[in-house]
Amino acid sequence: MADGIATLISSLGLTQETFLVFCVIAILVVGAVVVIITSRPILDIYPYLNPSARVRARKGRLFDEKQISEIVETNNVEEVENYLKGIPEYADVLDEYPLDKALDVERANTYDFVASLAPKDIKAPFAVMSKKADIDNIKSLLTAKEVGLSPEETKELLIPCGSLYEDLNSLADAGTVTDIVTSLDGTEYAAALEDALPQYESTNMILPLESALDKYYLGKLLRSTDVPSDENKQILYSYVGTQVDVANLKLIIRAKEDGLDYEAISPYILEEGYQLREWKLKDLMESPDVTNVVSGLEGTKYAEALTDVMPVYNETGSVAVFEKALDVYTSEYSKSLASKKPLGIGPIIGYLSQKENEIKNLKIIARAKREADFPNSKIMEMLI
Amino acid sequence: MVEIALGTALAAIGAGVAIGFAGLGSGLGQGMAAAGSVGAVAEDNDMFARGIIFSALPETQAIYGFLIAILLLVFSGLLGGGQGLPTEAGIVAIGVGASIGFAGLGSGMGQGMAAASSVGAIVEDNDMFARGIIFSALPETQAIYGFLIAILLMVFGGILGGA
């Protein structure tokens, strides 16, 4: 057989050395092709491995149902606080701040944490979310000024987080709402606030300013997710887009409950929704009442969640049932997104969504525990 | 220049393929597992030992490749100064290297992904350790098949035992 191979090599006009060189080249070419093909999925996965493990570690420390029940069964808000002081995640912030502020700080820290570890490709939306502390602080400042709180009381309302905290803290001494808006000149919120300022001055209500901030935030959040070019970005776009749609829907439902018409609502709505596009939002805003808004959603993914609670709304007349249904829907949808890409963006979205819910639930419990004789069963119903 | 028979030179290529590709798969897999483990340890110091175990799992593919490469080098006469291999046995040696090399590449990468995912699951829920080990061990089978075929090729291809 060796002779046969030697004959074959020589019949090809090759020496043994040349044959060896061809073998080496063939192996290198095959190797290069294999490496290129196999490294692609690795390159997609690799940036997410470390962040995934970190958020999953924190996700594992979120409260389970048993712990939430234990907190609900506490007798008063002091016991809630003591319970949370025994949990490392909340102990540090509770040492420094009262309960509600500590929860706000923990939420802001969570956004900062996720924004800091998110891989470069998906960092932008999380960076926008981490600016929510600034927006909440501006709203607190405006509210404090509107109701005439003292500078000390105003400072108490501010969350010590966000890039503008120091500046906003110094604005606690500002004389009027207009002074605050003009002092924010040079920040990214200036244009949105200044556009809404005439409306504030004509109505003397800060709602237009708060809505302008919300609209600016949602618009920036939606635009921060560029063209969804891969599965991770598609999931992120769905997650962010659903938040925008839900915020729009909550606003429309509440406005319809208050009997507002299209002209009154449209300035506060972000026209570029995700599944609810401009024409659909216009239809909803033109609906005569809440019932028609819900029926107008037929064919969208939000229809079922809202239709299911329609009887409760008819019974109670409270639009809070729709808001809770939308929160539950967002939570469930985020959970489904989280399981789609376990070695990608999934765990990050799963953790962020569940942590938000945990903090919302703790706030609900804290508020309920401040009320005398608020039944625990009622608290459990209110939780997301 | 040292005189090397064509068969021996081909076996050297086989040895390079064996450890080269198996090492590549093992390295990529270990890198993924280690990246996940570092993230877990950053959040929970107690994860260090378990992180090491999962990061070490994709090492085996490189060991198989290394073992086959050494056997090829020894039995082809490159190490130990034995007789050179005939040309046909040299071609078999390339098959030997490809067998463990490519099997080790796929197995190492797969094991790395499973191990990284398992580390994430364990840091979230301690009870996942045993199940994580089982899932992470599954992609080992491809490397074992490659290793087995490499040994059989060496035995029946006239490299080991002179069949």
Q: Among B8, B43, B99, which would you mutate to test the A interface (most chain A Cβ atoms within 10 Å of its Cβ)?
A: B43
User: What is d(CA A83, CA A181) in angstroms, rounded to the nearest whole number?
Assistant: 40
CB-based contacts of B87, cutoff 8 Å, min separation 6: A2, A5, A6, B5, B6, B7, B10
Closest of B146, B151, B145, B129 to residue B57, by C-alpha: B129
B10 interfacial to chain A (CB closer than 8 Å): yes
Residue A27: list chain B partners with CB under 8 A: 13, 16-17, 94
Nearest to A23 among B10, B21, B121 (CB): B10
With CB atoms and an 8 Å threshold, state whether A34 touches B37.
Answer: no
A186 interfacial to chain B (CB closer than 8 Å): no
pLDDT at position A325 is 93
With CB atoms and an 8 Å threshold, state whether A5 touches B120.
Answer: no
CB-based contacts of B103, cutoff 8 Å, min separation 6: B22, B61, B142, B143, B145, B146, B147, B149
User: What is d(CA A315, CA A257) in angstroms, rounded to the nearest whole number?
Assistant: 15
Residue B24: list chain A partners with CB under 8 A: 35
Residue of B nearest to A47 (CA): B35
Q: What is the pLDDT of residues B8-28, one digit of tens each?
A: 989 999 999 999 999 999 999
Nearest to A49 among B39, B106, B125 (CB): B39
With CB atoms and an 8 Å threshold, state whether A343 touches B113.
Answer: yes
Residue B32: list chain A partners with CB under 8 A: 42, 45-46, 49
User: What is d(CA A165, CA A159) in angstroms, rounded to the nearest whole number?
Assistant: 8
pLDDT, averaged in runs of 10, over chain A (384 residues): 74 80 84 84 89 92 93 92 92 92 94 94 92 92 89 90 89 87 91 90 88 91 82 90 92 90 86 85 91 91 92 89 92 90 91 94 93 88 87
A350 interfacial to chain B (CB closer than 8 Å): no
For residue A379, what are the CA distances in angstroms to A87, A338, A368, B57?
Answer: 21, 27, 7, 48
Quote the minimal CA–CA distance from B96 to chain A in Å: 13
For residue A92, what are the CA distances in angstroms to A88, A163, A193, A337?
Answer: 7, 21, 35, 31
For residue A178, what are the CA distances in angstroms to A164, A181, A272?
Answer: 18, 5, 29
DSSP assignment letter at A206:
S
Residue of B nearest to A89 (CA): B43
pLDDT at position A343 is 87
With CB atoms and an 8 Å threshold, state whether B120 touches A56.
Answer: yes
Quote the minimal CA–CA distance from B19 to chain A in Å: 12
B39-51 mean pLDDT: 92
Phi-psi region of A360 (alpha: psi -120 to 50; beta: other; left: phi over 0): alpha
pLDDT at position A2 is 64
* CB–CB contacts below 8 A, A to B: 100
A62 interfacial to chain B (CB closer than 8 Å): no
Domains of chain B: 6-156 (1.20.120.610)
Cβ–Cβ under 8 Å, residues B55 and B116: no
Nearest to A42 among B109, B120, B123 (CB): B109
pLDDT band at B163 (very low <50, low <70, confident <90, very high): very low
User: What is d(CA B128, CA B121) in angstroms, rounded to the nearest whole number?
Assistant: 6
* Percent of chain A clearing pLDDT 70 (strictly above): 99
B36-44 mean pLDDT: 92
| A254 burial via Cβ count (<10 Å: 0-12, 13-18, 19+) | middle
Rg of chain A (C-alpha set): 28
pLDDT at position A16 is 75
Closest of B37, B122, B51, B136 to residue A60, by C-alpha: B122
A58 interfacial to chain B (CB closer than 8 Å): yes
Q: What is the pLDDT of residues A137-188, one digit of tens each?
A: 999 999 998 888 888 989 888 999 988 999 888 888 888 889 999 999 889 9
Q: What b/e sequence results for A143-169 when a residue is b if at least 16 CB atoms lie within 10 Å of its CB, and e otherwise?
A: bbbbeebeeeebbebbbbbbebbeebb
Quote the minimal CA–CA distance from A229 to chain B in Å: 23
ipTM here: 0.81
Residue B35: list chain A partners with CB under 8 A: 46, 49-50, 53
Look up residue A97 and give its two tokens: 């701040």
Query: Following DSSP, what letter does each residue of chain B receive, concatenated?
Result: -----HHHHHHHHHHHHHHHHHHHHHHHHHHHHHHHHHHHHHH-GGGHHHHHHHHHGGGHHHHHHHHHHHHHHHHTTSSTT-PPPPHHHHHHHHHHHHHHHHHHHHHHHHHHHHHHHHHHHHHH-GGGHHHHHHHHHTTHHHHHHHHHHHHHHHHHTTSSTT-
* Cα–chain center distance at B128: 26
Look at residue B1 and tell me whether its pLDDT is greater than 70.
Answer: no
With CB atoms and an 8 Å threshold, state whether A59 touches B43.
Answer: no
CB-based contacts of A270, cutoff 8 Å, min separation 6: A215, A218, A219, A222, A244, A247, A248
Quote the minimal CA–CA distance from B117 to chain A in Å: 7
B46 interfacial to chain A (CB closer than 8 Å): no
With CB atoms and an 8 Å threshold, state whether A56 touches B123.
Answer: yes
User: What is d(CA A37, CA B102) in angstroms, rounded to the nearest whole number?
Assistant: 13
With CB atoms and an 8 Å threshold, state whether B32 touches A46.
Answer: yes
With CB atoms and an 8 Å threshold, state whether A57 touches B35.
Answer: no
B119 interfacial to chain A (CB closer than 8 Å): yes
CB-based contacts of A87, cutoff 8 Å, min separation 6: none
Phi-psi region of A176 (alpha: psi -120 to 50; beta: other; left: phi over 0): beta
The structure's pTM equals 0.85
Average pLDDT over all residues of chain B = 92
pLDDT at position A229 is 77
